[in-house]
Amino acid sequence: MQQNFKEPTAIPAQGFPLALSGRGMVGIAQTGSGKTLSYLLPAIVHINHQPYLERGDGPICLVLAPTRELAQQVQQVAYDYGKSSRIKSTCVYGGAPKGPQIRDLERAVEICIATPGRLIDFLEAGKTNLRRCTYLVLDEANRMLHMGFEPQMRKIVDQIRPNRQTLMWSAREVDIKYIQV
């Protein structure tokens, strides 16, 4: 995809090296600062170093977002930047028909962008799993906590392998101990 970026903004410039190192990180960034690319481009690199997915495998990268609007925005960026690498992504959120979302998950997508409630619905119904997930992003973690999603976030995180890489992004400082991932 051709973009008119000459150099990364401060957030990607600092976020890329940390995310590419394979270590977990916490980032504080305002809307429009480039945080989505800060975690999605390293996710694409990470995915390209993993064995191919088989049908029924869950995603390699999971991005949790508090709202469907944010999830859809992230999905568009994932699609735009992932297509040249043949990386498939899907967006699962409440308020939309489940059928197409389930079909996407069943065809083995590398990136799943989800709101916590809908993802838990699919996990509990056996429509997907998180056994292959090694790259977890909590986008706008502070909003998810303030919206009361902590129990759902914990339930999801508990299903992901412990050797995952976790990137937590927030628009403001968060008590990191409050949600240990």
**Is position 29 within any domain?**
no
Q: Which ranges of 21-163 does DSSP label H, i.e. alpha helix?
A: 35-48, 68-82, 98-106, 116-124, 141-146, 150-157
SS3 state of residue 7: coil
SS3 state of residue 35: helix
The predicted model scores a pTM of 0.91
* pLDDT of 159 strictly over 90: yes
* pLDDT of 3 strictly over 70: no
pLDDT at 5: 60
CATH number of the domain where residue 67 is located: 3.40.50.300
Task: Copy the structure tokens of residue 90.
Answer: 């899907």
Give buried/exposed letters for 10-48 (b at 16+ CB in 10 A, else e). Answer: ebbeebbebbeeeeebbbebeeebbbbbbbbbbbbebbe
Number of domains in the chain: 1
Q: Nearest-5° angle of CA 74, CA 26, CA 153?
A: 65
* pLDDT of 174 strictly over 60: no
Q: Please give the Cα distance from 137 to 181 (Å, whole number).
A: 10
Q: What is the pLDDT of residues 137-152, one digit of tens each?
A: 999 998 998 999 999 9
> Which residue in this structure is represented by tokens 């996990």?
123
* pLDDT of 1 strictly over 60: no
**Is position 139 within any domain?**
yes
pLDDT at 83: 85
pLDDT at 180: 52
For the ranges 2-6, 32-36, 77-81, 154-158, the lowest mean pLDDT is seen at: 2-6
- At residue 177 the predicted structure's pLDDT band, cuts being 50, 70 and 90, is very low
Task: Copy the structure tokens of residue 152.
Answer: 């759902």
**Is position 15 within any domain?**
no
Q: What is the pLDDT of residues 84-140, one digit of tens each?
A: 888 999 999 999 999 999 999 999 999 999 999 999 999 999 999 999 999 999 999
**Is position 30 within any domain?**
no
Contacts (Cβ under 8 Å, ≥6 apart) of 133: 58, 59, 60, 61, 62, 160, 161, 164
Burial of residue 6, with CB atoms counted within 10 A of its CB: 0-12 exposed, 13-18 middle, 19 or more buried = exposed
Q: What is the pLDDT of residues 8-67, one digit of tens each?
A: 777 778 888 889 999 999 888 777 777 899 999 999 999 999 999 998 899 999 999 999
Which residues form the domain of 53?
35-175
pLDDT at 125: 96
**Is position 40 within any domain?**
yes
